[in-house]
């Protein structure tokens, strides 16, 4: 199996899962990492059975690059919030791009920057997505195990709440603490609620989330959902904001 690991606009944090797994990966017989700039200096950019892509598409060059990778890849997997939904870069999608660009004085530097930081699925067809900011190394390991034995990867389409219950946490909402667990995709093993912090949604919304009920709960509690979103999940999930904004909050 020929594998490529690619980076677009991102922090490199999701690729670290492959570094974390390097000992195990090296022992696999049918797993050849042909392309991985972060990990090796000799790379072979030809054809890939599996391409793992970290990062969002945020410049005109990146549009061309992801299209080319798609053409060379049998299966394309987006890893992490940036690839899946734009990630932290996508905060600018809800702002005026000219204001955003004031970071640089030299206009030239930003001329190829797209107004919106895009999930890769908005540019090319994506076969699988692994959620998280960052992805969990255990989930990536499980994904690789699954494809190696030809089984479909675990589907995390259920909320963080299930993982919270499994860990025996007391529900933070019951304790009157804002938490996005009920509408957020699982996979983090209820990380934040287990350390006394409301989930801030870095794995993105889960598909069948009952957003209306969640919104009503926030209203009942007297919490401003718009503020909460602006200051929590917005950074990690363009998807989330779009989904919630549509509810006319």
Partner 1 sequence: MEAKPLTRVEGEGTLKLILKDDLVQDVVLNIFEPPRFFESILKGKRFEVIPDITARICGICPVAYQMSGIQAVESVFNVKVSKEVEDLRRLFYYGEWIHSHAIHVFFMHLPDFLGLSSFFEFLKLNPDLSKKALFIKQTGRKILEVIGGRDVHPVTVCVGGFTHFPKDEEIKSLIPSLEKSYDYSLEILDFLSTLNFPQHLLPEDILFVSLKEEDHYPILKGKIYLSTGVGLDKDEFLKYFYEFEKPHSTAKYSKTKDGKTYIVGPIARFNNSFDNLTENSKKIALKYGVKPVERNMSKTIIVRVIEILDSIERSIELINLYQKNSLKNEKYEVSEGEGTGVSEAPRGILWHYYKINSNGLIEKANIIPPTSQNQSVMEELLRKNLTNKELKDESTLISYGEYIVRDFDPCISCATHFLKIDKLNLDNR
Residues that bind partner 1 (CB under 8 A): 7-16, 19-20, 22-23, 25-26, 33, 36-43, 58-59, 62, 87-89, 91-92, 95, 99-106, 108-110, 113, 133-134, 136, 188, 191-192, 194-197, 200, 202, 230-232, 235-236
Nearer to partner 1, 20 or 121 (CB): 20
The token pair at 235 is: 């950074």
| Residue 39 or 153 with smaller CB distance to partner 1 | 39
Q: Which residues contact 42 (CB under 8 A, 6 or more apart)?
A: none
Give, as one character, the DSSP assignment of residue 85: H
The residue (of 133 and 173) whose beta carbon lies closer to partner 1 is 133
Taking the complex as a whole, the smallest distance from the CB of residue 238 to partner 1 amounts, in Å, to: 12
CA dist., res. 158 & res. 141, Å (int): 20
> Residue 114 or 211: which CB sits closer to partner 1?
114
Q: How far is the CB of 157 from partner 1 (least distance, A)?
A: 22
Q: C-beta of 95: minimal distance to partner 1 in Å?
A: 7
Continuous segment of H or E residues that includes residue 211: helix 211-221
Of residues 160, 246, 173, 157, the one with CA closest to residue 208: 157
| Ramachandran region, residue 222 (left: φ > 0; alpha: ψ -120 to 50; beta: rest) | left
Residue number with CB closer to partner 1 (10 or 85): 10
Q: Cβ 208 to partner 1, closest distance in Å?
A: 25
CB of 151 vs partner 1, minimal distance in Å: 26
Between β-strands 57-59 and 113-118, what pairing exists: parallel, antiparallel or unpaired?
A: antiparallel
Q: Alpha carbon of 111 to those of 61, 104, 247: distances in Å?
A: 11, 11, 34
């Amino acid at each position: 199996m020929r594998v490529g690991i690619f980076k677009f606009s991102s922090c490199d944090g999701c690729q670290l899962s492959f570094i974390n797994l390097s000992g195990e990966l090296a022992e696999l017989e049918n797993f050849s990492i042909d392309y991985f700039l972060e990990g090796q200096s000799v790379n072979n950019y030809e054809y890939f059975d599996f391409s793992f892509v970290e990062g969002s598409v945020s410049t005109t060059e990146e549009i061309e690059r992801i299209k080319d990778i798609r053409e060379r890849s049998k299966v394309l997997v987006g890893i992490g919030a940036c690839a899946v939904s734009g990630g932290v870069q996508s905060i600018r999608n809800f702002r005026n791009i000219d204001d955003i660009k004031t970071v640089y004085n030299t206009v030239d530097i930003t001329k190829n920057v797209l107004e919106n930081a895009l999930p890769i699925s908005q540019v090319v067809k994506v076969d699988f997505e692994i959620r998280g900011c960052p992805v969990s190394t255990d989930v990536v390991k499980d994904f690789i195990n699954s494809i190696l034995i030809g089984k479909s990867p675990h589907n995390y389409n259920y909320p963080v709440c299930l993982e919270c219950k499994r860990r025996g946490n007391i529900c933070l909402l019951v304790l009157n603490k804002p938490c996005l667990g009920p509408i957020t995709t699982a996979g983090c093993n209820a990380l934040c609620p287990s350390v006394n912090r409301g989930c801030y949604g870095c794995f993105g919304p889960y598909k069948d989330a009952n957003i209306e009920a969640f919104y009503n709960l926030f209203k009942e509690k007297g919490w401003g959902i718009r503020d909460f979103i602006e200051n929590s999940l917005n950074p990690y999930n363009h998807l989330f904001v779009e989904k919630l904004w549509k509810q006319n909050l």
